[in-house]
Amino acid sequence: MAVFGSAAWAAPADIRTDFGDTDILVTLPQPTLTQTALPDNAEELAGTIQQQILQARRDGDPRYLGYASSLLAQWPEDRLTDRLRVLRATVQQSLHQFDEARADLQTVIATTDDPIQRLQAHLTLANLELVQGRYEHAAENCQALLESSPGLIAYSCQAQVRGRTGQPQSAYQRLLDHTRTERRQNNNERVWAEGTLADLAAQLGDPRARDHWQLILNLQPDDLYTRTRLADWFLDNQQPENVLSLTESYEHVDSLAVIRAIAMQQTEHPQADALIIRLRERFSEARWRGSLLHERDLARFQLDVEGQAPQALGYALANWQDQREPEDTRLVLRASIAAGEEERASSVRDWLKQHRQTDNRYPETDS
């Protein structure tokens, strides 16, 4: 059971009643994406669910995932189509319901007659297995993608697995070569590959990571994952002013707000304290409601903003049980060193050695 570091975490802050008459307190989601009545047919429902997922990714607003989950819960199990099952798995993964998502995807792969949905299921499952650090299973799904639909997405999938299992340099170079020689590539495939190249370059400590991420943002400014990764790269490379530019107007997204708060502290920004107070209240309320999806963001806030390394380590370790992406692993290592409790991260270091995973951003891994 977690023990909070201060009374601020015990309950949400008092409700404010001193807003002006014209203040905008909250922007309501689009009515068409918040409907509670079920559509008449599966395809119409699938279209709505897909738009809700896209909106959640575009805005960083988890309420859309809640709307999607509610609609899916009302739909009869015996009327689930393959597309609905894949979409349900996507929602479940976003809500960190990994086992349920895996079961749906495996069902589609085993039973569907629709090649498009089988490919989508393999791709989604590969991503899920990568997130959880189950690299052998991820590789199996990447191989299935390659056999059924060779191209930049399948090559990117394989590159991610190789990068996290001891071959980041060759993975980067092979994928880079594919982007230059692959004739059949659309914009989505190129963006996918550029994102993988950026992650691999960052892992290698290669400054080309910035160029790959910037290219994606030039094409897709609403890509919150890429914006977060680039902001983090700027922070690592002592460029807090660039962080502030990149995160402006994105304080509603937890990951970007935390990175912005760190940069504000570093630059002694006059609005730093105000943002930190808002984040403190936001995390406190999320814990109180039991709706905190991203323990990684809370752990980083505790470590890099509040300076509470022992608490940060507890949250980082809890998060790492389900999510083992490089940023999750790095956070555990950093927090354990800052807290002077490196032995608590020994299982993480053993896991890294088992998979031969190295990363230029990992501190003191003895690898």
**Chain mean position to CA 234:** 18
217 CB neighbour count, 10 Å cutoff: 15
With CA atoms as reference, report the closest residue to 363 among 327, 330, 315: 330
What is the DSSP secondary structure assignment for residue 366, as one 8-state letter? -
Residue reference for tokens 């890294």: 352
pLDDT of residue 9: 24
pLDDT at 35 (0 to 100): 63
At 272 the pLDDT is: 97
Say how far apart CA 358 and CA 352 lie, in whole Å: 7
Q: Where are the domains of the chain?
A: 38-149, 150-221
Element (H, E) at 115: helix 115-131
d(CA 175, CA 159): 7
- Report the CATH fold assignment for 38-149: 1.25.40
pLDDT at 30: 55
Q: What is the pLDDT of residue 19?
A: 31
Separation of CA 95 from chain center: 11
d(CA 289, CA 148): 44
- Kindly give the confidence (pLDDT) of every residue in the chain, 367 residues in length, as a single tens digit, with 9 standing for 90 and above: 332 232 222 222 333 333 343 333 334 455 556 666 788 899 999 999 999 999 999 888 888 999 999 999 999 999 999 999 999 999 999 999 999 999 999 999 999 999 999 999 999 999 999 999 999 999 999 999 999 999 999 999 999 999 999 999 999 999 999 999 987 778 889 999 999 999 999 999 999 999 999 999 999 999 999 999 999 999 999 999 999 999 999 999 999 999 999 999 999 999 999 999 999 999 998 887 765 667 899 999 999 999 999 999 999 999 999 999 999 999 999 999 999 999 999 999 999 999 999 999 999 765 4
